[in-house]
Amino acid sequence: MKIKVGDKVRVITGSNKGKEGKVSKVLRNESRVIVEGVNIVKKHVKPNRTNETGGILEIEAPIHISNVFVLSEEKKENKKSKKESK
Task: Tell me the pLDDT tens digit for each residue of 20-59.
Answer: 999 999 999 999 999 999 999 999 999 988 878 889 999 9
Q: Which domain holds residue 19?
A: 8-85
Any domain includes 3:
no
Give the pairing of strands 8-11 and 20-27: antiparallel
Prediction pTM value:
0.73
Does residue 76 carry a pLDDT above 90? Answer: no
How many domains does the chain divide into?
1
Mean pLDDT, rounded, for 48-72:
90
Residue 78: predicted pLDDT: 47
CA pair distance 75, 77, nearest whole angstrom: 5
Residue 55: left (phi > 0), alpha (psi -120 to 50), or beta?
left
**Which CATH number characterizes residue 71's domain?**
2.30.30.30
Any domain includes 32:
yes
Any domain includes 2:
no
